[in-house]
Amino acid sequence: MEITSQKLRAASEASRTALKMHDLVSSPSLRKKLNKLIRPFGVFSLFNLERNSKRNSKLNGVAIAVIVKNEAPYIKEWVEYYKIIGITKIYLYDNDSQDDLKDRIKTDVESGYIDYHPIHGKVRQSDAYNKALWQARKDRLYLLVIDADEFLFMKNSTDRLFDIVKGKLNVNDGVGGLAINWLIFGSSHYESKQPGLVTRTFVKRSPFGFKFNKHVKTLVNPDVVAGFLNPHFPVYIAGYHSVNLNGQTVEGPFNEPSADPEIRLNHYFTKSKEEFIKKRSRGMADNLNIRDMGKFEEHDQNDVFDDSMKRYQAELEKAVQNDGREDA
Say how far apart CA 119 and CA 67 lie, in whole Å.
8
Angle at 308 between CA 306 and CA 312, to 5 degrees: 140
pLDDT of 2: 65
Q: Amino acid identity of 85?
A: I
Beta strands in the chain, from DSSP E residues, in sequence order: 62-68, 89-94, 114-118, 142-145, 150-154, 175-184, 204-205, 216-220, 225-228, 234-236, 241-243, 249-250, 263-267, 304-305
pLDDT of 56: 63
How far, in Å, are 84, 145, 149, 312 from residue 152 at the CA level? 11, 11, 10, 12
Say how far apart CA 129 and CA 270 lie, in whole Å.
23
Q: How does strand 175-184 pair with strand 263-267?
A: parallel
Give the residue ranges of the chain where pLDDT is below 50: 285-286, 326, 328
How far, in Å, are 50, 198, 263 from residue 223 at the CA level? 8, 34, 23
Say how far apart CA 176 and CA 161 lie, in whole Å.
16
